[in-house]
Amino acid sequence: MKQINESEIKQKLLQTFSKYNGNNIPYSDLEIAQAATKVKNFIDNLNNMIIYENENSRKPTELEIFSSMYEFVANRVYVEQDTSHDIIGTLITDMGVCQGYCQLMSFLCEYFNIPFLYKRSETFDEYKNPLGSHANFEVIVHDKNGGLHCLHCDPTIDSPKDKNDWLGFNAFLIQDSDINNYYHKQIPSGTDISSFYYNFLSSENFDKSIFLLNQVNPIEQMISGKSEEEIIGEHFEKLRDNLISLNSFFGMNVDFKNLSHTQLLDAYKEMYEYYRNISQPINPEELKEAIINAKTSNIIFENNIVPDEASIISQQIFGLRLKKTLDQQKECWENTDEHYMMHSEMKVEDTHIIK
C-alpha cells in the first residue's frame, strides 16, 4: 500500500468534510492537524499490520483490515453534539453520531480501495412516529476465498454508549433486511423517489422505486406547471444520476449518459440482481476469526506483548462484545434463537482487560 504523509491526510480530510458538510469548516488549523495525525497513525498501523497464526505470520486479509477499520470508526462514544456530525469533530473528540461515523468510514474505504455507499434513511418508532433521518452504509468486501459480499454496516447500533460500554457486532457486515431487527424501522429517506435507488433495504422498496418512476403527483404537477411527461422525465433523470453512483460502487463500466428510459430501467434491474447475488452473509466463523485476528495484532503492536497472550486477551474482548450483541438481540428479536452473528456465547472471566 502506498505511504501517505500528514499533509496529504489533512487535504483529504478537508475534501471529505466539504463533500458532506459544505465549505464552511468550523475547526482551527490545530484541530484539523490533530485529526490528521490520528488518522495517519491508524493508517500507518494498519499498513504494518501482521497476523500471527501459530508460529507463522502473514499479511492481513481484506476482512481483517476492514474489521480494524470498523473498530476504529465505531468504537467512539455515541454523543449528540455539533462536532459529532462530521469527520473532523468525530476524530478530535472520539465521539460521534451516524453522520460522523459514516464520513470517517468513507474516508478510510477510499484510502484502502473498499467500495463504499453512503446511505440515508428515515427511522420510525413502534407507533410509526418519525424519529428523523439516519445515516449508514454498504461496503463490498472479499472473504478469504475471494468471494464478493455486499453487506450493510451501521456503527450507530454497535457504538459504545458511554466510556464503560463495549463495541458490539449487531450491524457489522449483515444483510440489509436484518438491520430493522436491531433498530427502528427504516425506509429510504424523504419523499423524493431518487432515494430508493441507493437504499436497497428490501425487495419491496426496489419494487416501489420502479412503480414510482411513472407516477405523477397531481398537486406537484399543478404547482410546477409541468406536464406529466416532463415530470416522469425528471424521475428518470434522477434514476440516471443514482445509477451513475451505483455504477461506481459496483465497479461496473457502463455509460448511462445516453440511455433511453427503457434502457435505464433494464440497467437498474440488472444492477439490482447483481446486488442481490453478492449481498450474502459471510460465514460467521470466518467473521469471528477475522475480528479476533485483527484485535490480536493491534494489541501486540500497542502493548508490546507476545502473540499468545495477546490472543487470549483478544478472545476475552470478543466474548464481552459478543455478550453485548446477544443482549441487544434478545431485546429486539421475539425469537432469540434466530440471532445472526455467532451461535454460542463464550465463557469470559470478568477480569480487567484491554479495550
Residue 335, pLDDT > 60, answer: no
Asked if pLDDT for residue 122 goes beyond 50, the answer is: yes
| Residue 111, C-beta contacts closer than 8 angstroms, at least 6 positions apart | 4, 12, 43
| Residues above pLDDT 90, as percent of the chain | 58
pLDDT band at 253 (very low <50, low <70, confident <90, very high): confident
Query: Quick one: pLDDT at residue 340?
Result: 45
Domain ranges of the chain: 6-188+280-338, 201-278
Q: Which of 296, 336, 332 shows the shortest CA–CA distance to 312?
A: 296
Confidence band (pLDDT; 50, 70, 90) for 241?
confident
Answer yes or no: is pLDDT of 128 > 60: yes
Calpha distance 224→232 (Å, rounded): 13
- What does the pLDDT average to over 2-25? 90
pLDDT band of 294, cuts 50, 70, 90: very high
Q: Which residues contact 266 (CB under 8 A, 6 or more apart)?
A: none
**Per-residue b or e along 153-179, where b marks 16 or more CB atoms closer than 10 Å to that residue's CB:** bbbbbbbbeeeeebbbbbbbbbbbebb
Percent above pLDDT 70 for the chain: 88
pLDDT for res 288: 96
Nearest alpha-carbon partner for 18 in 6, 32, 2: 32
Of the candidates 321, 339, 322, the residue with the CA atom closest to the CA atom of residue 330: 339
Q: Is the pLDDT of residue 344 over 90?
A: no
What confidence score (pLDDT) does residue 346 get? 37
**pLDDT single digits (tens) 201-211:** 567 778 888 88
User: Predicted confidence band at 8 (pLDDT cuts at 50, 70, 90)?
Assistant: very high
Average pLDDT over residues 55-62: 92
pLDDT of residue 163: 87
More confident residue, 240 or 343: 240
3-class SS letters over the chain = CCCCCHHHHHHHHHHHHHHHHCCCCCCCHHHHHHHHHHHHHHHHHHHCCCEEECCEEECCCHHHHHHHHHHHHHCCEECCCHHHHCHHHHHHHCEECHHHHHHHHHHHHHHCCCCEEEEEEEEECCCCCEEEEEEEEEEEEECCCCCEEEEEECHHHHCCCCCCCCCCCCCCCECHHHHHHCCCEEEECCCCHHHHHHCCCCHHHHHHHHHHHCCCCHHHHHHHCCCHHHHHHHHHHHHHHHHHHHHHHHCCCCCCCCCCHHHHHHHHHHHHHHHHHHCCCCCHHHHHHHHHHHHHHHHHHHHCCCHHHHHHHHHHHHHHHHHHHHHHHHHHCCCHHHCCCCCCCCCCCCCCCCC
pLDDT recorded at residue 351: 44
Kindly report the length of the chain.
Answer: 355
pLDDT digits (tens, 9 = 90+) for 93-107: 999 999 999 999 999
pLDDT of 342 reads: 42
Instruction: Provide the pLDDT confidence category of residue 348 given band limits of 50, 70 and 90.
Output: very low
22 pLDDT higher than 80: yes
Measured from the Cβ of residue 253, the count of other Cβ atoms closer than 10 Å reads 6
Cell, residue 248? 461506481
User: What residue has cell string 434466530?
Assistant: 338
Q: Kind of pairing, strands 116-124 and 130-142?
A: antiparallel
| Strand ordering across the sheet containing 185-188 | 148-153, 130-142, 116-124, 185-188
* More confident position, 1 or 312: 312
**149-187: per-residue pLDDT in tens?**
999 999 999 999 998 999 999 999 998 778 777 766 777
What average pLDDT score do residues 305-334 get?
89
Distances 270 to 115, 128, 260, 263 between C-alpha atoms, Å: 19, 33, 15, 11
C-alpha distances in Å from residue 28, one per residue of 18, 19, 20, 80, 89: 15, 19, 19, 21, 11
In the prediction, which pLDDT does 339 show? Answer: 43
| pLDDT for res 30 | 96
Per-residue pLDDT band at 262 (split at 50, 70, 90): very high
Q: Name the average pLDDT for the chain.
A: 87
| 241, 257 contact by CB (below 8 A) | no
212-235 pLDDT tens trace: 888 898 988 899 999 999 999 999
